[in-house]
Amino acid sequence: MYSSELDDTGAVNCSVKVRVMPRCWYVLCRLWLRVDGALVRLRESRIFCSADDPKTVVRETTWHEGTPETLAKAGAPSDVRGGASSPYGDADATAQALGSVAPAAV
């Protein structure tokens, strides 16, 4: 949906993926932000509805973020820069790197 290089100071990407199947539908909305050397943030919302119970829609939202200092304290990689080898180079890599870190307080 939206992507920017933030004038070479980081990157931001907002994406929505929709999957419709015969018995259910599923939506993943993901916002990923990296400010080089300062912050990484990942917000994900998952929405699911089964055809067996169309009146019930399940939504799960996770928020992860951190500065190099808070990431290092939590045991996650603290190198908040871009590049192919960076643990925070894109939204998928960030989700994997932050998987062991407790979600941010809302």
Q: Write down the pLDDT at residue 104.
A: 64
By the 8 A CB rule, do 76 and 69 touch? no
- Average pLDDT for residues 64-74, to the nearest whole number? 88
Residue 28 pLDDT > 90, yes or no? yes
Does the structure show a pLDDT above 90 at 73? no
Percent of the chain with pLDDT over 90: 50
**Alpha-carbon torsion angle 1, 66, 93, 82, nearest 10:** 80
Q: Is the pLDDT of residue 96 over 90?
A: no
**Tokens in use for 85?**
């080898």
User: CA 2 to CA 77: how far, in whole Å?
Assistant: 26
The pLDDT of residue 49 is 98
Average pLDDT, the chain: 88
Per-residue confidence (pLDDT) for residue 70, from 0 to 100: 87
Other CB atoms closer than 10 Å to residue 64's CB: what's the count? 21
Q: Residue 106 pLDDT more than 60?
A: no
- CA gap 17, 60 in Å, rounded: 15
> Residue 105 pLDDT more than 60?
no
pTM of the model: 0.80
